[in-house]
Amino acid sequence: MLHLEFTRNHVSDNPVQKTLRLAVGTAQVLEINRDCLDFDGEINQPTYSIADIQDIGHLMATTFKNADGLALHIDDDVAHRFTTEVWVQWLSFGLALSRYKYHHTPSALLQPVVAQFQLKSVDSAASHSELPLLRDAFTRGQILAHSQLIARELMNKPGNVLYPETFVHAVEALAINGVSLSYLSDEAMLEQGFGGLMGIAQGSDREARLLCLDYCPANAQTTITLVGKGVTFDSGGISIKQPRYMSTMKVDMSGAAAVVGAVNAIATLKLPIRVIGLCGLVENMPSGKAVKPGDVVTMLSNTSVEIITTDAEGRMVLADVLHYAQQTYQPDYLIDIATLTGGTGIALGKAYASLMGNDPSLMTIAQQAGTDCAEAVWPMPSDNAMFKSALKSDFAELRHGSEEPDGSPCVAATFLQHFVAPEQKWIHIDSAAMSLGMNHRHIHHHAASGFGALLLTQICQQIADQASMSHQKMTHNE
């Protein structure tokens, strides 16, 4: 049996400890059964996942919220499904998230408050020498929770408080250690020729921004660029959206929020790779200045693009930023994440984000990363003849989508691929349904999910691990 004990940082004069047991059983819903003799509660499921471990940490802390100490007895046939490090990391993550509830303020400044717990003891087959690794795993869980809350706070802010300029201020105020922050203004992007991004931005009175977060540790041998869609409010523009769920369009900057959360985690964990986070920040609004269906704009890459619907704005923003990322940083890996198409949510619901790209090995890394952190992705096709035909225009080199909804996530990815060099390793993550309404998870019972911050961090961790192993192998062969 694996026995773990955690303590809250504040201890009362008469400390109370509650004990929970995990066992194999028949329960189909993750909940604590309080009707048991030997423990304060039991969870009895046929199987357990990483998502369950995260939720169990949260559930323990919120169910026994007056307890100073929390003990977890994990039966052998449950404990053996994961390493002790995995149990400790993701329980720590769930515990740390247990205090979070969004509170509105008129300021864009973020308040990512984590619950304070400590790992008190571990009783298992682990040797004494493994205890430092377990304490590191506990700390890592707290770092990941804090980073996801940064993403959640950004997503939860309303559009009248968080817009491109204040998004930059909010991230700047985080003062992420080891990360340099800069941005391109409206004027700079117009001068450089960001026709796609600035074409969308021109309908709003708010200025656009391209935020750059650069984490560049000494002797980094690998460079990864993360690109996030940051539409701080998406009205649909001239192709205005239906009123239903319009209020949720403040989370159309979730890709950018995920990038910020991931960069915070990567820098705090001190991964030995260079990671550049780029957030294309705009508002998509209808006005006399707004881009119209049928307009043709010239992108940063000098490609002319016909606009079909102004509600397909995210791909125009991403296409320019993807081109800029390659020209400026020449990354080894290029990854973008966006709440891009409703079709992804229709196809996959809230179980998976969709994954497309041009490099099978990078797609495999992303799939494994999603499994390892419970932010799953599902591969979908792109760049075949049918999707390319949807982008043929009589009036420009490309149109940015089709009048028909057929295969919309795949058509959008195919459009983006036009702006990615063939030799550039690239993946696109469409997380359209994952930002809100994830209340089937205990850790996401309230407001925005912060989806993507863990996934991007885990992808970068795996790339860093592979690079380290490759370097060690080369050194050994020499």
Count, residues in the chain: 478
**Is the Cβ–Cβ distance between 5 and 30 less than 8 Å?**
no
**Is the Cβ–Cβ distance between 59 and 96 less than 8 Å?**
no
Which pLDDT score, from 0 to 100, does residue 125 have?
58
- CA nearest 448: which of 315, 249, 313, 283? 249
Which pLDDT score, from 0 to 100, does residue 446 have?
86
Q: Which two tokens stand for residue 450?
A: 């912060």
CA separation, residue 476 to residues 21, 464, 470, 472, 473 (Å): 46, 18, 10, 6, 5
**Is the Cβ–Cβ distance between 279 and 256 less than 8 Å?**
yes
Per-residue pLDDT band for 36 (boundaries 50, 70, 90) equals: confident
Q: Tokens 């039991």 sit at which residue? A: 42
What's the pLDDT tens digit per position in 427-456? 999 999 999 999 999 999 889 999 999 999
What's the pLDDT tens digit per position in 347-371? 999 999 999 999 999 999 999 999 9
Residue 320, SS3 per DSSP:
helix
Handedness of CA 187, 192, 193, 197 (dihedral sign): negative
Which pLDDT score, from 0 to 100, does residue 476 have?
59
Mean pLDDT calculated for residue range 112-132: 83
Percent above pLDDT 90 for the chain: 90
Which pLDDT score, from 0 to 100, does residue 9 have?
83
Q: Is pLDDT of 126 > 80?
A: no
Residues with catalytic function: 241, 315
Per-residue pLDDT band for 127 (boundaries 50, 70, 90) equals: low
Mean pLDDT calculated for residue range 228-253: 96
Mean pLDDT calculated for residue range 164-171: 98
CA separation, residue 75 to residues 21, 79, 124, 286 (Å): 8, 6, 11, 58
Q: Is pLDDT of 306 > 90?
A: yes
**Is the Cβ–Cβ distance between 33 and 13 less than 8 Å?**
no
Q: What is the DSSP string of 219-250?
A: T---EEEEEEEEEEEE--TTSPPPSTTGGGGG
Q: What is the dihedral of CA 284, 289, 290, 294, to 10 degrees?
A: -170
Specify the pTM. 0.96
What's the pLDDT tens digit per position in 55-109? 999 999 999 999 999 999 999 999 999 999 999 999 999 999 999 999 999 999 9
Which pLDDT score, from 0 to 100, does residue 11 have?
65
Contact residues for 424 (Cβ-Cβ < 8 A; gap 6+): 326, 331, 334, 358
- CA nearest 278: which of 198, 177, 168, 397? 168
What's the pLDDT tens digit per position in 180-189? 999 999 999 9
How far apart, in whole angstroms, are the C-alpha atoms of residue 337 and residue 323?
15
Q: Tokens 């409703």 sit at which residue? A: 342
What's the pLDDT tens digit per position in 312-359? 999 999 999 999 999 999 999 999 999 999 999 999 999 999 999 999
Q: Return mean pLDDT, the chain.
A: 95
Which pLDDT score, from 0 to 100, does residue 129 have?
67
